[in-house]
A and B are shown apart, each in its own frame.
Chain A
Amino acid sequence: MSDQNNNSENKELEALMAETIGVKIGPHKSWDPVNQPMIRHWAEAMDDKNPRYTDPEFAAGTEEGSIIAPPTMLQAWTMRGASWKHAPGTKERAADQPYVLDILDDHGYIGVVAVNCDQEYFRNLVPGDDISHYMEIEGISEQKQTGLGVGYFVTELWTFVDQNDEKVGEMRFRLLKFCPPKEAPKAASKPAVESDDKPKKALRPRPGMNKDTRFFWEGLKEGKLLIQRCTSCQTLRHPPTPMCPSCRSLERDAVEASGKGVIHSYVNMHHPDLPAFDASPNPVALVELEEGTRLVAGLIGIEPEDVRIGLPVQAEITQCDDELALALFRPVSEK
């Protein structure tokens, strides 16, 4: 298909979709008014012990004078539940009312993924409040090339009102409708494995290790930060290499460093945000040891914005997991 055809087809699709913007559908009614049992069930699922949600005695002293629903529960009140039906009194979309998600399905954009959910709460809901919502399409993006395929971002605006038709909350829900690539995409995650429900921790990447560098990593496991030394001319060097860059001798051993140094240079790594590293952004320094060699290492005990060239640091040999020990550096408090 030529680009020209593609363009005219897109124009046709986009014109169809544009007609669906701003058409308000609803109300969608709740099966039950805001009530303590559903609030308790929610608080229990989230392990949320906020006494405002479940302790009437505490709640009596608050502004509302009664328990409130967790604000994030907003959307739950009008959900259809297992029957997949809204409560009586709901005004559904008319059968002949075009709907952007159906239009996109019909044009091959069958994939869907939620991208953003922005909620705003105008007042706390209390038992007895009867919530309904209206929904309209607020916006549709231009066609976008995304990691999942070509698609359109669709923004739904949900307006939540109470029994007096007063607005109590609002939600913007943004989703991507995309055309999955022709070849079946690989499963989003690793192949199906039996999950044992045991928490796991992402591990730091393993170092590349060879005969020349093994002593350095083994030293860390024993709690020592080692520096390679030429036994012919006594010059220290890092990273480890087979030959002395000063005298070309192949004779070498290692000495233990004091671990004292200063930050020679640094980066705060923002992207990618790797799960094994707790800090984000992740501060990484080139540390100049007092013995004169430099090494790249992670920083601990410092906020990324506080890292400075020249800052004195001290190595802390850290057992990161069962197999990996690293020298991480912590700022030394200046006296």
Chain B
Amino acid sequence: MNSVNQAFQNLSFADIEVGQKLPGLDIDVTTELVVAGAMASRDYQDVHHNKANAQKLGSKDIFMNILTTNGLVGRYITDWTGPLAVLRKVNIKLGAPNFPGEVMKLSGKVTDKSEQDGQSLVEISVAGKNSMGNHVTGTVVVALPQDSMPKE
């Protein structure tokens, strides 16, 4: 018997409609987040933790690394679907940097539903926008259970 975490909904394939919008998620980009994300992804490029060096390279501050952006996009999707979904593809295009002090507003919209190789796949277009424009745009494909409840 599964104890489904109460904080998550568990969306199934049938629950989802093409064109449906995801609830937004605002990410406060802080120095802590940029550094914690870089360290968790074992990315020790100095532009992700050393402000003075980042400024020498013409940047105004340290900025978020790509792996953290990936992680946040993945989280945005599974926060919405619930933990029974399985991420299959995360394709992102990078734009304006995420500096500490920015708020990245994540939004998403379901763009496709399909059944392939026994999997029920949902495609979602995602954008994460900060005060300078889109930090990230992309497409995520997630496999969802057919039914609302996990198999017992």
A residues near B (Cβ < 8 Å) are 38, 41-42, 44-52, 55, 57-58, 61-62, 70-73, 75-76, 79-82, 84, 114-121, 124, 185, 187-193, 195-202, 272-275, 278, 280
Contacts and interface: CB of A to CB of B under 8 A. Distances in A.
B113 interface: no
B3 A198 contact: no
Given A62-B150, A72-B71, A195-B61, 13 more contacts: A38-B40, A57-B3, A58-B4, A70-B87, A71-B90, A115-B94, A117-B66, A118-B92, A189-B59, A190-B60, A195-B101, A273-B129, A280-B127
Which of A50, A114, A190, A274 has the largest number of chain B CB atoms within 10 A? Answer: A50
Contact of A46 (B60, B68, B91): B68
Contacts of B150: 61-62
Contact of A76 (B42, B87, B91): B42
B5 A51 contact: yes
Given A46-B72, A116-B91, A191 B60 contact: yes
B53 interface: no
A200 B102 CA distance: 6
Contacts of B100: 195, 197
Interface string B10-42: 000000000000000010101101001101111
A275 B131 contact: yes
Nearest to A81: B42
A171 B33 CA distance: 24
A180 to B, nearest CB: 10
Which of B5, B8, B75 has the largest number of chain A CB atoms within 10 A? Answer: B75
A191 B61 CA distance: 10
Nearest to A189: B60
Contact of B86 (A46, A124, A193, A274): A124
B52 to A, nearest CB: 11
A51 B84 CA distance: 10
B59 A42 contact: no
B146 interface: no
A72 B130 contact: no
A73 B58 contact: no
Contacts of B37: 45-46
A48 B78 CA distance: 9
- Is chain B's interface secondary structure helix, strand, loop, or mixed overall? mixed
B9 interface: no
A274 to B, nearest CB: 8
Given A58-B3, A58-B83, A195-B60, A275 B129 contact: yes
B105 A46 contact: no
A153 to B, nearest CB: 12
Interface string B51-84: 0000100111100001110111111001100011
Nearest to B38: A45
B93 A46 contact: no
19 contacts: A41-B40, A42-B40, A44-B36, A45-B37, A46-B72, A62-B150, A70-B87, A73-B71, A75-B70, A81-B42, A115-B93, A116-B93, A116-B94, A118-B89, A119-B90, A195-B60, A197-B30, A275-B131, A280-B107
A275 B100 CA distance: 17
Contacts of A46: 37, 40, 68, 71-72, 75
Contacts of A49: 5, 7-8, 79
B71 A42 contact: yes
Given A61-B1, A61-B2, A118-B92, A275 B74 contact: no
Given A119-B89, A197-B101, A45 B44 contact: no
A188 B97 contact: yes
Contacts of B94: 114-117
Contacts of A70: 71, 74-75, 87
Contacts of B72: 46
